[in-house]
């Protein structure tokens, strides 16, 4: 498949950022969109005539720029590709706001997409997730070594270690 045009990238990019919780970055978007468009390794690596940037990544960046110009994405934070209310309304108008992003990716990438997308959509950030994991593995709080592992007779409770 030839590398898609900037125009062909715009709506899938907007949809992807929405599914990823409303914000993402260039690397993540380019990687997932390359899978979405079924680009070969050669197409993914093809360079611009300048030899500096990858052609597909450059087109994704320009598609993002156009989405910013029309107000669908916010460019106020460097490195953060964030959807606006106007962009969310456009996805709703297109019937895409409740649909998952249609991409077939490897299991590890699906896990990453789930973590970055579904957890952000539920309002959980990394710190909340960390607190949930910590509460599960240490419900009584963290222990201090060696004090909490040695009983009053000087024996070590290896089961706890």
Strand order in the sheet with 81-83: 23-24, 81-83, 73-74
Domain presence at residue 27: yes
- Over the stretch 106-150, which tens digit does the pLDDT of each residue have? 433 444 444 444 444 444 456 666 666 667 666 677 666 666 666
Domain presence at residue 119: no
Question: Does the pTM exceed 0.85?
Answer: no
State which residues form the domain around 20: 6-106
Domain presence at residue 100: yes
Query: Is the confidence at residue 91, as pLDDT, over 80?
Result: yes
> What is the structure's pLDDT at 5?
96
Q: Specify the CATH number for the domain of residue 31.
A: 1.10.10
Number of domain units in the chain: 1
More confident residue, 113 or 73: 73
Residues in the chain: 161
Q: Residue 65 corresponds to which tokens in the numbers above?
A: 């720029």
- Over the stretch 7-50, which tens digit does the pLDDT of each residue have? 999 999 999 999 988 999 999 999 999 999 999 999 999 999 99
103 touches 36 (CB < 8 A): yes
> What is the structure's pLDDT at 111?
42
Q: How confident is the model at residue 103 (pLDDT cuts 50, 70, 90)?
A: confident
**DSSP for 20-75?**
TTSEE-HHHHHHHHHHHTT--HHHHHPBPTTSSSBHHHHHHHHHHHHHHHTTSEE-
> What is the structure's pLDDT at 61?
96
84-110 burial code (b ≥16 CB/10 A, e <16): beebbebbeeeebeeeebebebeeeee
Domain presence at residue 154: no
Domain presence at residue 128: no
Domain presence at residue 121: no
The SS3 assignment for 2 reads coil
Domain presence at residue 60: yes
């Amino acid at each position: 498949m030839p590398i898609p045009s900037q125009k062909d990238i715009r709506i899938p990019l907007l949809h992807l950022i929405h599914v990823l919780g409303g914000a993402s970055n260039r690397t993540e978007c380019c990687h997932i969109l390359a899978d979405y468009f079924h680009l070969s390794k050669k197409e993914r690596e093809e360079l611009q005539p300048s030899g500096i940037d990858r052609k597909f990544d450059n087109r994704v960046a320009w598609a993002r720029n156009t989405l910013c110009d029309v107000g669908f994405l916010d460019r106020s934070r460097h490195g953060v590709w964030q959807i606006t209310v106007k962009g969310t309304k456009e996805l709703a108008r297109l019937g895409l706001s409740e649909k998952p992003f249609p991409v077939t990716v490897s299991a590890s990438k699906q896990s990453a997409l789930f973590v970055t997308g579904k957890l952000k959509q539920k309002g959980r950030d990394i710190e909340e997730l960390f607190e949930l994991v910590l509460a599960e593995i240490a419900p009584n709080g963290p222990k201090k070594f060696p004090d909490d592992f040695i009983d009053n007779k000087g024996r070590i409770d290896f089961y706890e270690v």
